[in-house]
């Protein structure tokens, strides 16, 4: 696994991992927002990626289920220069 700018030690960079069943496989629209799986909040990309991978593997038999990592630190502080 390669390191990204989000893996800088000592700085908390919040990441959200969540997933749900997609209405269509070629769009990012969920079938039922009330059934989203909020996996959790993580202090860096490496931890979020571990959680994302575990969640995706648990649902591997459901082709419509997708999990995502949201870089919340970029949304909270867009002027910080953390964007890629």
| Cα 31 off chain centre by | 18
Q: Report strand pairing: 15-21 vs 37-42.
A: antiparallel
- As a whole number of angstroms, the distance between CA 48 and CA 57 comes to 14
Instruction: State the residue for tokens 């969640």.
Output: 55
Tens digit of pLDDT for each residue in 3-53?
A: 555 455 568 899 999 999 999 988 889 999 999 999 999 999 999 999 999
Q: Is 3 helix (H, G, I), strand (E, B) or coil?
A: coil
Domains of the chain and CATH, by start: 13-31+45-84 (3.30.70.2400)
In this predicted structure, the answer to whether residue 81 has a pLDDT above a threshold of 70 is: no
- As a whole number of angstroms, the distance between CA 39 and CA 69 comes to 10
């Amino acid at each position: 696994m390669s390191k990204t700018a989000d893996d800088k030690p000592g700085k908390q960079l919040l990441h959200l991992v969540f997933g749900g069943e997609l209405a269509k496989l070629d769009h990012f629209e969920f079938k039922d927002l009330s059934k989203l799986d909020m996996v959790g909040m993580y202090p860096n990309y490496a931890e979020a990626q571990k959680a994302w991978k575990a969640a995706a593997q648990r649902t591997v038999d459901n082709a419509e289920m997708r999990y995502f990592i949201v870089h919340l630190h970029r949304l909270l502080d867009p002027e910080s220069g953390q964007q890629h």
